[in-house]
Structure 1
Amino acid sequence: MEKQLRKLTELIGFRYFLIVVLILTGSLQFAFMYGNVKGVTYDFKPLQLAPETVRSTKTIEDTYKTQQEREKAANAVAPVYQFSEDVAKQRAAIVTSLFDYVLEVKKDVEKSKEPVPNVDQVAQLRKKFESIDSDQMPIIFTDSQLEGLLIQSEADLTRTSTQLSKLVQEYLQKSIRAENVYAAQNDFETKIRGQRGYPDRIYNTVVLIGRTSIIENETINEEQTKIRKEQAKESIEPTRILQGQIIVQEGQIIDNEAFRQLELLGMVSNKASLKPIAGLIILIFLQMMFMFILFERWEADEHKKRNALLVTSIVYTLSVVLMKFISLVSGGFDVTVAFLFPTALATMLVRLLANERAAVLITVMTAASAGVIFQEGYSSVMQMEITLYIIFGGFASIFFMRSVEKRSHILHAVGVIGLVNIAFIAFYLLMTQSSYGLSELLFYFIAAMLSALLSGALTMGLLPFFESAFGLLSSLRLIELSNPNHPLLKKLLMEAPGTYHHSVMVANLAEAACEEIGADGLLARVGCYYHDIGKTKRPAFFIENQMSGNNPHDSLPPETSAEIIIAHTTDGAEMLKRYKMPQEIIDIALQHHGTSLLKFFLYKAKEEGKDFDEAKFRYPGPKPQTKEAAVISVADSVEAAVRSMKEPNAEKIHKLVRAIIDDRVQDHQFDECDISIKELKCIERVLCETLNGIFHSRIEYPKADK
């Protein structure tokens, strides 16, 4: 897509490309906002006198009335209960199982020939009881109760088990509903106490087991009840407002019911005219005009402006779509759902992917569009509270994202945005002078925080997609790449420390020069960190890494040496590609030497009497395509040359810098980038100032007497 867009802008020019993008953006915005401003028949308000008789212009179902009648019919349907005969058998079986467990453990007691059960036997019985699902028999027996069961005779236990389980099964033959369980348990306890034959020591335990065995056996059949309710709803005919039906008579007060019907018919938004549509067109025209001025006057290369334009337009359109979606689903709520809209989403994305001026403009545009989209019947033009809400949230993100050094700073900005949102909502609630319930207040303050959290989360989530789709390199990404812990920078430091130091020095020079001429200083700095990464393939062949004084080029033919030196640009580009580095960084690695000539090895070859094609001693290029690459190419050569200079001073440095720049110009290395002679003079001045600061003369301190 990047190549196609580049071809398109080259074919029609950036200005016409800008116009086409803005027309498409404006058209999409109009399509989404038309429904909010289209003309209607009447401009009524509740509780005013109707100036004329209003009749329905069409037949339409009154869904509210229909739903009311259907809910009323459904609520009148009695629940369908279902009796379960299996409950009686199940509960009786559980009672039998309990006493069977007692009998099993009792055999161990009899084998031990002890007068009373020991602790292990009581624990064994408890474990068996716990094997029964606690939902079926939620009883926690005491050690005394368990011991009492174990000391009973086998005959007593068998008789008690049979008698109690039979009584449980007989009692559960009658229906017991959930609300009657407690009364049934009391009644069952009375029946137990009326029977004889239960041993005195376990009498209360038997009562406890019996009460717990009584549960509900007649439950609501949810499926059948639901079917009957649905049948009751379906039996109600839809309530309709018929065409020609009188909604309100002339001179009659438009009560809430009449007003609701007028709203349902779409007859009470604004006056039925083309004025609102014309107003919307003017609003969109103003917004697109300011975007045109912003990008037309932006002094940057067309590639950067084109991508920033596309990102800004897409982000703005997505914001309008999101607002439209929220407005469509907010109709059934008593609270203002629009406060959930992520106020700073568009602002943060545009701020990171384009620039701050575009972020300010997109904030105002988004706020204005939100005011129209979320406009309700009582708002004459736009919903001002939503407009101001987005403006305050968006501006808060701009002010607190001025220096984004890592992704956590976005989260810090989110916290501030949340506080600003809460403060504005507090202002809104106080100014309305209405009484709000706890649930409404809770909603509004949760909405304020959710708006801020969504702004940050969606920004961090969408940022990589925009960077990847449009080949954009945000300042956030650049700062992450400048971290010395990056694997490539660690590799450079460990394997080629001299080159690492050289890269840092070049970065300082290039950043200062780029900022002076209005280029991207941060991109230049980060590009310098990686521009010589290819030297890590053969670090010993580059003089800054030759600590021992041995130069391997002394024993190599000049053409071989040239081939090794030249290869570091392509080697570096391949290495950067493997690490999936941004294209801008790869381009700097390829372009920082352009097609310049390795004069030293060419002259060495000539001194040896060899006749070689000069092209073999030139870098493959391409030549610098951007101002940043041009500045880096000069800074790279200047730093290396000044570092090798003996006793550098301001005059020597100035002559050297001028000579290197003039050589680049004479060699046509800057023919393919839009750098001017005036900017080259600025670069020369800044480089000299910076180098003088680095290589300034130092005071010679007297040696201490021994």
Structure 2
Amino acid sequence: MNRHFNKLMNMFSFRTLIIIVLLLTGLLQFFLMLGNVRSTTYDIQPFQLAPETIRAVKTVEDTVKTEEERKQAENAVEPVYVFNEETAGHRVSLVESLFDIVTDVREDIKSKEKEPTLEEQVKLLQEKLKDITDSQSQLIFTKSQLQSLLTADESSLTSTKSILVNLVDTLLSESIRADEVTQKRNEIETKIRQNTSIDEHILNSVIVIGRAAITETEVLDKVKTDELIQQTREEVEPTRILQGQIIVQEGELIDREVYRQLELLGLLNNNTTNEPLIGLVIFIILQMIFLYILFDRSEMDITKRRNALFVTAIVYSMSIILMKILSMLSNEFDTTIAFLYPTALATMLLRLLANEKVAILVTILTAASAGVIFHQGYAAVLQMDIALYIIFGGLASIFFMRSIEKRSDLLKACIIVSIVNTSFIAFYLLMAQSDFEVFELLFYGIAGITSGILSGALTMGLLPFFESAFGLLSTMKLIELSNPNHPLLKKLLTETPGTYHHSVMVANLAEAACEAIGADGLLARVGCYYHDIGKTRRPAFFIENQMSGINPHDSLPPERSAEIIISHTTDGAALLQKYKMPKEIVDIALQHHGTSTLKYFLFKAKEQGKEIDESKFSYPGPKPQTKEAAVINIADSVEAAVRSMKQPNIEKIQELVHSIIQSRVQEHQFDECDVSIKELKIIEKVLCETLNGIFHSRIEYPKED
């Protein structure tokens, strides 16, 4: 089945495969989360009774109320008036000009040889006053009033002029607005009538002049008034209907105002909107884009990337389904049962099955999705308390899973996650500032612990299924394979103790070198434990197992010896496959010698003068395909060479390691893996340091007498 599956997958480019998988994952997520973003609507009409207590599902501005309050504030603004100090002077000048014109006309009449008739005198005065009377609408004289001015006593005119000027100047020194002008005109008329010094003959004329002289002294400043109105409007805070605010209680009458608010909030059936659905689509697309970039830029080989992609899609979808189930059950409980969600489940699985980057990203995406799925409708756009709960729990598991060496380490990580969960819940309860009953506090405490335990339990339970379905080699699987009680390792130890010791030494070297270049050190260690398992078929033909000092190769032709030695790679692969060992371990057994040549037996055959087929003295390969296999290739040869060296020291070890690596490079043994020259130098340095620690010079103690 795996063969057919791989054949099907090879029909697509990896980028096409990413798009297909993420598209299916996004669609599943959309339909699962659809119900969590659709708002509840009501089929109600004005003046009905509310079927239930209705709250605002979002915060919106009530524009009608806001405009009403701004209008009220605008109407309360006092207009800005500006007092014109020059007005009094201008109007006094007007009064003086009128009297001066009358005086001039009178003198002009006296200077004439023939005195004009009274009617002619009036016409003359009218002509002289025309410019002023045309510009002053209030200045309207009758003929009799003009006659009175022309016939009045000159001293009387002079005194009246002075009196009227003082009255006008006094009144216009005060602020007079347009709506107060009539009042002030009546006031000056009253004062004129009350003044006994004014000749009654000209009283009406003086009243006309006095009333016309009074005008507004304070003028409306429209620009400043408009600025003040605008500022006042802007200072009015918008009226908002707050999320969670009660719009109408159950059984209350839905009046026009309540109905308007429900319409504004989109809570009526005739006001449904697709905006939340569009938002959900954007949200999911963003998540899928991050996942696409992560896998597209991954440095894993194509098979591992493909497996990691499928595992991530399944684990993420599984997390969404689990959260959806909890959210559906939450309506049946008064407490927040979302805290039961295993916060570190997706993180732990992907940390073990993929890598840390994938685990961190999916933790964040899962938390964001949880914020939408567990959204209560009255708190916020996202349920941030649950989102943060998952982020803290997930990240805690990552930090405490970086050095897992046995299953008990996973249990420790679960305990840490439980502690972090309960700590966050304590923070949540304290910040809520609500009174919780003992039962609720007990539930939340148990929920935090249960979440952590479930994370580990489900991880351990689901891990074998993913490993089996996708042929994955997880950290936990490697830890299991490194157990000395494994049947193959017990077989290696009992039947080939020398090879077992050699394998352990090579494992130490390879693990240190792999970790230095960023490769999988644990895989290298476990691979080393099994790389020479093929030697168990003919233990005595390998020098490390020849305890008696007898070498069976001395009695065999070189070709046969080479065949036996070379076959330990294929024999080992066959034995590993028989025990259903992971492909990565089988590959290391096949590749740890690459296509190198058994030079010792080749030279021995040449010395005997036989016709030689050099291919019979070379390992079948393949050459190392991964960094781990390349490191083991070097470490295997280096350990054997240094172990056979007499009196090893730093210089000898360094020279030997360098020559072995150069020999492998010249033989093109690393052409099919992505190990670089820079990494080979790092490997050389680490191997030398590790070997110097193992084969250090010992102090020679004095012999006892």
Q: TM class, shorter-chain normalised?
A: 0.5 to 0.7
Q: 1:454 to 1:54 in 2, by over 3 A?
A: farther
Tell me which residue corresponds to 1:308: 308
Secondary structure in 2 aligned to 1:288?
A: helix
Please give the alpha-carbon distance, in whole angstroms, between the structure 1 residues aligned to 2:372 and 2:481.
42
Please give the alpha-carbon distance, in whole angstroms, between the structure 2 residues aligned to 1:680 and 1:593.
17
Tell me which residue corresponds to 1:477: 477
Tell me which residue corresponds to 1:403: 403
Tell me which residue corresponds to 1:655: 655
Please give the alpha-carbon distance, in whole angstroms, between the structure 2 residues aligned to 1:613 and 1:678.
36
8 Å CA contact 1:6, 1:303 repeated in 2: no
Secondary structure in 2 aligned to 1:21?
A: helix
Tell me which residue corresponds to 1:548: 548
Could you tell me how far 1:583 is from its partner in structure 2? 1.6
Tell me which residue corresponds to 2:204: none
Corresponding letter in the other structure for 1:390: I
Please give the alpha-carbon distance, in whole angstroms, between the structure 1 residues aligned to 2:355 and 2:4.
24
> Which of the two has higher C-alpha Rg?
2
Taking structure 2 as the reference length, the TM-score comes to: 0.66
8 Å CA contact 1:40, 1:273 repeated in 2: no
> Is residue 2:414 matched to residue 1:414?
yes
8 Å CA contact 1:405, 1:480 repeated in 2: no
Secondary structure in 2 aligned to 1:572?
A: helix
Deviation sequence 1:392-445 (CA, Å, 0-9, x none): 222222233232222222223223322332333333334334444444444333
- Within a 5 Å distance, the mapping from 1:163-242 to structure 2 comes to none
Please give the alpha-carbon distance, in whole angstroms, between the structure 2 residues aligned to 1:459 and 1:611.
60
Q: 1:40 to 1:664 in 2, by over 3 A?
A: same
8 Å CA contact 1:349, 1:463 repeated in 2: yes
Please give the alpha-carbon distance, in whole angstroms, between the structure 1 residues aligned to 2:426 and 2:694.
55
Tell me which residue corresponds to 2:496: 496
Deviation sequence 1:155-189 (CA, Å, 0-9, x none): xxxxxxxxxxxxxxxxxxxxxxxxxxxxxxxxxxx
Q: 1:693 to 1:6 in 2, by over 3 A?
A: farther
Identical aligned residues as a percent: 69
Please give the alpha-carbon distance, in whole angstroms, between the structure 2 residues aligned to 1:416 and 1:515.
26
8 Å CA contact 1:40, 1:272 repeated in 2: no
Please give the alpha-carbon distance, in whole angstroms, between the structure 1 residues aligned to 2:618 and 2:396.
52
8 Å CA contact 2:47, 2:256 repeated in 1: no
Tell me which residue corresponds to 2:231: none
Tell me which residue corresponds to 2:686: 686
Deviation sequence 1:212-259 (CA, Å, 0-9, x none): xxxxxxxxxxxxxxxxxxxxxxxxxxxxxxxxxx996334779xxxx9
8 Å CA contact 2:411, 2:456 repeated in 1: yes
Q: 1:543 to 1:429 in 2, by over 3 A?
A: same
8 Å CA contact 1:40, 1:271 repeated in 2: no
- Within a 5 Å distance, the mapping from 1:314-353 to structure 2 comes to 314-353=314-353
Could you tell me how far 1:5 is from its partner in structure 2? 6.3
Tell me which residue corresponds to 1:666: 666
Q: 1:499 to 1:54 in 2, by over 3 A?
A: farther
- Within a 5 Å distance, the mapping from 1:32-43 to structure 2 comes to 32-38=32-38, 41=41
Please give the alpha-carbon distance, in whole angstroms, between the structure 2 residues aligned to 1:445 and 1:352.
28
Could you tell me how far 1:686 is from its partner in structure 2? 2.3
Corresponding letter in the other structure for 2:46: T
Tell me which residue corresponds to 1:18: 18
8 Å CA contact 1:492, 1:536 repeated in 2: yes
Q: 1:582 to 1:54 in 2, by over 3 A?
A: farther
Please give the alpha-carbon distance, in whole angstroms, between the structure 2 residues aligned to 1:659 and 1:431.
66
Deviation sequence 1:685-704 (CA, Å, 0-9, x none): 32233223333334444545
5+ residue gaps in structure 2? 53-250
- Within a 5 Å distance, the mapping from 1:250-329 to structure 2 comes to 250-251=255-256, 267=267, 272-329=272-329
Could you tell me how far 1:631 is from its partner in structure 2? 1.1
Tell me which residue corresponds to 2:602: 602
Q: Which moved more, 1:527-536 or 1:436-445?
A: 436-445
Q: 1:482 to 1:275 in 2, by over 3 A?
A: same
Corresponding letter in the other structure for 1:309: L
Please give the alpha-carbon distance, in whole angstroms, between the structure 1 residues aligned to 2:41 and 2:330.
23
Secondary structure in 1 aligned to 2:610?
A: coil
- Within a 5 Å distance, the mapping from 1:419-568 to structure 2 comes to 419-568=419-568
Deviation sequence 1:261-293 (CA, Å, 0-9, x none): x9xxx9579983333223223322332233233
Could you tell me how far 1:548 is from its partner in structure 2? 1.9
Q: 1:340 to 1:652 in 2, by over 3 A?
A: same
- Within a 5 Å distance, the mapping from 1:83-94 to structure 2 comes to none
Count of residues in correspondence between the two structures: 503
Tell me which residue corresponds to 1:576: 576
Corresponding letter in the other structure for 2:319: S
8 Å CA contact 2:624, 2:670 repeated in 1: yes
RMSD, aligned CA: 3.2
Tell me which residue corresponds to 1:187: none
Could you tell me how far 1:4 is from its partner in structure 2? 5.7
Please give the alpha-carbon distance, in whole angstroms, between the structure 2 residues aligned to 1:54 and 1:559.
104
Please give the alpha-carbon distance, in whole angstroms, between the structure 2 residues aligned to 1:686 and 1:269.
71
Please give the alpha-carbon distance, in whole angstroms, between the structure 2 residues aligned to 1:274 and 1:658.
68
Secondary structure in 2 aligned to 1:697?
A: coil
Could you tell me how far 1:14 is from its partner in structure 2? 3.6
Corresponding letter in the other structure for 2:602: L
8 Å CA contact 1:39, 1:270 repeated in 2: no
Please give the alpha-carbon distance, in whole angstroms, between the structure 1 residues aligned to 2:431 and 2:270.
25
Please give the alpha-carbon distance, in whole angstroms, between the structure 2 residues aligned to 1:531 and 1:269.
70
Tell me which residue corresponds to 1:642: 642
- Within a 5 Å distance, the mapping from 1:148-159 to structure 2 comes to none
8 Å CA contact 1:268, 1:377 repeated in 2: no
Tell me which residue corresponds to 2:240: none
Could you tell me how far 1:495 is from its partner in structure 2? 1.6
Please give the alpha-carbon distance, in whole angstroms, between the structure 2 residues aligned to 1:11 and 1:284.
27
Please give the alpha-carbon distance, in whole angstroms, between the structure 2 residues aligned to 1:359 and 1:695.
41
> Is residue 2:58 matched to residue 1:53?
no
> Is residue 2:380 matched to residue 1:375?
no
Q: 1:658 to 1:3 in 2, by over 3 A?
A: farther
Tell me which residue corresponds to 2:392: 392
5+ residue gaps in structure 1? 45-49, 63-245
8 Å CA contact 1:40, 1:270 repeated in 2: no
Could you tell me how far 1:386 is from its partner in structure 2? 1.4
Corresponding letter in the other structure for 1:340: L
Please give the alpha-carbon distance, in whole angstroms, between the structure 2 residues aligned to 1:692 and 1:18.
47
Q: Which moved more, 1:316-325 or 1:397-406?
A: 397-406
Q: 1:598 to 1:324 in 2, by over 3 A?
A: same
Tell me which residue corresponds to 2:137: none
> Is residue 2:254 matched to residue 1:249?
yes
Please give the alpha-carbon distance, in whole angstroms, between the structure 1 residues aligned to 2:13 and 2:675.
20
- Within a 5 Å distance, the mapping from 1:584-599 to structure 2 comes to 584-599=584-599
Q: 1:12 to 1:664 in 2, by over 3 A?
A: farther
8 Å CA contact 1:559, 1:616 repeated in 2: yes
Secondary structure in 2 aligned to 1:619?
A: coil
8 Å CA contact 1:519, 1:628 repeated in 2: yes
Please give the alpha-carbon distance, in whole angstroms, between the structure 2 residues aligned to 1:333 and 1:271.
31
Secondary structure in 2 aligned to 1:363?
A: helix
8 Å CA contact 1:375, 1:381 repeated in 2: yes
Corresponding letter in the other structure for 2:322: L
8 Å CA contact 1:39, 1:274 repeated in 2: no
8 Å CA contact 2:339, 2:444 repeated in 1: yes
Q: Which moved more, 1:583-592 or 1:430-439?
A: 430-439
Please give the alpha-carbon distance, in whole angstroms, between the structure 2 residues aligned to 1:454 and 1:391.
16
Please give the alpha-carbon distance, in whole angstroms, between the structure 2 residues aligned to 1:335 and 1:314.
30
Q: 1:416 to 1:357 in 2, by over 3 A?
A: same
> Is residue 2:362 matched to residue 1:362?
yes
Corresponding letter in the other structure for 2:564: I
Please give the alpha-carbon distance, in whole angstroms, between the structure 2 residues aligned to 1:55 and 1:7.
65
Please give the alpha-carbon distance, in whole angstroms, between the structure 1 residues aligned to 2:370 and 2:47.
32
